[in-house]
Every structure is written in C-alpha cells, then in structure tokens.
Amino acid sequence: MILGAPLALLGLLAIPVLILLDRLRRRPRPVPWPSLLLWRAAAAGEAPRRRAFDPLLLLECAAAALLALAAAEPALVTGRLARTVMVLRDTGPHMRARCGQESVAEASARELARLRAALDAGDEVREFETARDLARAAAGLPDADLRVVVTDRPGIGGPGLLVLGRAATGTNVGIDAVQLDGDRLWFALATDGESREVEVRVGARTMRVPTGEGVETEAAETLRLLDGGNCAEDDSCRLERIELLVRDGLGTPLTRAALFGAGIAARDAEPFDLILTAEGGEGIEGVVRGAECALADGLFSGLYLQDCAWRGATSKPGAGLLSFRDRALAAWLDERTLWVGLPFDREWDDHGTLALFLEAAKRESARRKSGARAVAGAAFADPAPGFVDTRGVDRPFHGPLPEARRKLVGETAFRAILAAAALLVLALYLRAIVRGT
C-alpha cells in the first residue's frame, strides 16, 4: 500500500493534541473551601480511583486518525506502468549541418539511441518529426513520462508565424502576411490609423481589402509575384536568383514577408541566391531580422546584402564593419561574403539556428556555386526557456529518467471507506455526548 499524499499524515498530530486537551480538561479546578472536614469524611473508605477510561477521547482520536489516513490517499500498488517517452526530432535543414565529424542529425540519432538504451523493456517510445514550427509541434506532444525535443535550436520558437506581404503602391499601409501552411498565405493588413480599405495587388489580381482582414492567396501566386517571371509555364520554378527591393521604411515586417515568400517559392527548387537591396528602410535591424527569419527556415543557400544604404548604418564592402547604434551587426568580409553578427541580447534569441544554417549554407553553396558564401558569427545564444524539456544534441541528455507510473487500485474505495468510518465514529461521538456518558 502506498499513500498518494503522505503529508496528510501530519493530521495524526491532532491525536496528541486531543489527548493534551483532554488532560487539561480533566485537570482538577482549584476551589477554595471552608473546610475539608466533610470531604475527607466522604472520601474515607473510597477505593483509589484509577484513571477513568474515556470512550469519548478514544472516539475523537479514532476519527482524527481515520480522517488523516483518508486524506493521505491510500492505494494498493498492483504493478508498474510502462513509461512513455515522446520524442520530437527537428528535421530542418540546419540539422544537416556538420559539427566536426558528424552532422547534427547524426548526433541526434546517437543521442536518441542512448536514450532508448536507458529505457526498460516495455517502455514505449514514440517519435515525431518536424522541420518547421518546432514550438507548436512540441506543444502538441501527447502527455508522457518524458518529452524530449531533439534540435540544435537554442530556442524552440522556430519560424512560427511569419509575415509576408507588400504594400500597395501609393499607400502607406503595412501589410503583413501569415503563412498558415505550405500552400496558403494569408495576408493581413495592418492599419495605418486612417485607411479603412487598401488595395492589394498579388500578381494579376487586385483586391480591395478592409484593413484588419486578410486575403488568401496561393503560394504559386506569391511565387510569380516575387519571382517576376522566373517560373516556367508549368509553374515549375527554377530559381537561381531573386532580387528584392525593399523600399520606404516598412522595415522588419515587409522584409520578413518578402524574404519568406521568396523562400516558400523556392521550397521545391534548388537553393538559390537572394539579393536584397534596401533603400531608405527603417534600418538594418528590420532587414537583418527579416533575413534571419528566412534563413532560419532553411531556404537559402546564401545571403548577400549589397549596396545597402541603411539609414544610420555604414558599410564598407571588403573591410568595413557594419554598425548601427553602436552595435556591430554585420561586416563584409570580402566583396561577396557577409559576416552576420549574432546575438547581442534576447532580441536575437533564435539565431543559433541562423548560425548553423549559414554554416551549412556556406558549405552547400560552395559545393554548388563557388564564390557564394555566408559566414556565421561565433556567438550562440543561450537557450530560451521552453515549455517542454529541450535536449539539443549540443547538450546531451544526462538527466535521470522519470520513474514509471504505478498501477494503483482502490484509491477511491479506500478513501471512501476511511471517510465513512470516520463519519461513523463522529456519529458515535455525538451520540455519546448527547447521552451524557
């Protein structure tokens, strides 16, 4: 038998308290009296009194003990349940990045094998894979004794909701888009505080959309929109190069949207180069942040920023350090290589993924196209606090395995019996009091 709430046994401390109170109650009350003459005479010949057995006290103690036992949730253990382990494997392209001799994915497999070996026979392991939106996938894992997320991402936020869009000409309305899944884009129109309706042009379509609402479009349309005619007649895209012009300070949302849209378009294509030109935007923060999100999704083989004239930033291709507000962000290592500075603070907490991806992208790009390179910075962010245990392969799982849950029977029955017994005892107690015994 085990107790589900053994702390409830502290209730047994009520028993000595009851006994103490009884003793205090029985303690003779001092009373001054004119003379003990008559009392002594009355007591003469009386047999010495033994301490009377008090059935009421016994009932009080029994009720307290039974209630404490019932509250302790007693149950019988009849066996042991198999443990369930849920494993979520990140299969994003960045997992193919090699750290020394083995890739991240290989290290993941090795860690998983080690975890399996530590489990008992009969324990159940279920694996899930995702290449995107790791956070949602992790949140959706079934309940288990242990949930493991294998990823190299310091934080498991993943791309999540990304924005995609472009402002209509002549408006000053930011247009964000949310990627719902691989095939659908949902454009949400941010309000500018004045316009109630904006015109959205997606390819050949022109739509007037109330602000705050969205328009659904297809990925292919976005592809055409962004590709500018690089797709063949059969919609198969053979992208090698996308050039985007980001204008007029829409900053992070539009940049992210544009880059991510391009990434979707290129999902089934060979890796391609993205040329991003920013003119008069809100600054390098927005552009770099948008680029980073697209890169984190593993869609580009290389990223080149050229001829940037970001407000407040300076760059000097070949040697210069790109800085903004006294923070080093990126530097051109040579004419075609951008060094992207990695996290300075929590704002950049997803960037470990970016760094690994950039490394992988560099190698891939070097393999396919000589001269296209991106170099990651050296810094990795600390992992953001997750809502499930995150065991990246760079932080092998060494924690103790949870104990298997036990099969318990009779919890409710035991509690009910003990509570009923306690009630019976209390009833007897009240009856005895009413009868004056």
Partner 1 sequence: MTDRAAPGATAPFDEEFRRRLEVLKRLVARALAGRGGGGRAPLAERGGRVEFAGHRAYTPGEDVSAVDWSAYARLETLVVKEFQAPRESQLLLLLDRSGSMALFGKDAAALRLAAALGWLGLASGARVACASRAAASRWLASPERFPDLLDSLEKLPEGGGADLAAAVQKAPPHGTGPRTCVLLSDLYEAEPAERALAALRSKSATVACVHLLAREELQPPLANAVRLTDAESGETLDVALTREARARFAGEAERFCAERASLAARHGARLVRVAPGDDLIAAVERVLLGGGSA
Q: Which residues bind partner 1 (CB under 8 A)?
A: 26-43, 46, 49
Question: How many CA atoms within 13 Å lie on the side-chain side of 425?
Answer: 19
CB of 57 to partner 1, least distance (A): 15
Nearer to partner 1, 41 or 434 (CB): 41
CB of 36 to partner 1, least distance (A): 5
Nearer to partner 1, 29 or 196 (CB): 29
SS3 376: strand
Query: Do residues 304 and 276 touch, judged by C-beta distance below 8 A?
Result: yes
Q: Kindly give the pairing relationship between strand 184-189 and strand 175-179.
A: antiparallel
Query: Do residues 365 and 306 touch, judged by C-beta distance below 8 A?
Result: no
Q: Kindly give the pairing relationship between strand 74-80 and strand 2-3.
A: antiparallel
CB of 54 to partner 1, least distance (A): 12
Give the dihedral sign, CA 219/225/229/230.
negative
Nearer to partner 1, 40 or 196 (CB): 40
Query: Do residues 139 and 388 touch, judged by C-beta distance below 8 A?
Result: yes
Nearer to partner 1, 46 or 234 (CB): 46
Give the dihedral sign, CA 374/378/379/385.
positive
Nearer to partner 1, 49 or 398 (CB): 49
CB of 3 to partner 1, least distance (A): 40
Nearer to partner 1, 7 or 24 (CB): 24
CB of 43 to partner 1, least distance (A): 7
Contacts of 240 (CB under 8 A, 6+ apart): 230, 270, 272, 273
H or E, element range at 138: helix 134-139
CB of 14 to partner 1, least distance (A): 24
Nearer to partner 1, 28 or 229 (CB): 28
Nearer to partner 1, 24 or 434 (CB): 24
Nearer to partner 1, 49 or 196 (CB): 49
> What span, in angstroms and rounded, lies between the C-alpha atoms of 180 and 192?
24
Query: Do residues 299 and 266 touch, judged by C-beta distance below 8 A?
Result: yes
CB of 26 to partner 1, least distance (A): 6
Taking alpha carbons only, the member of 229, 183, 227, 189 closest to residue 207 is: 189
85 phi/psi in degrees, rounded to 5: -125, 125
CB of 425 to partner 1, least distance (A): 24
CB of 408 to partner 1, least distance (A): 48
CB of 48 to partner 1, least distance (A): 11
Nearer to partner 1, 43 or 77 (CB): 43
Q: Report H helices in 266-311.
A: 284-296
Taking alpha carbons only, the member of 186, 229, 221 closest to residue 204 is: 221
The alpha carbon torsion through 324, 342, 138, 215 (nearest 10 deg) reads: 40
> What span, in angstroms and rounded, lies between the C-alpha atoms of 331 and 103?
28
- Can you read off the two tokens belonging to residue 126? 């279920």
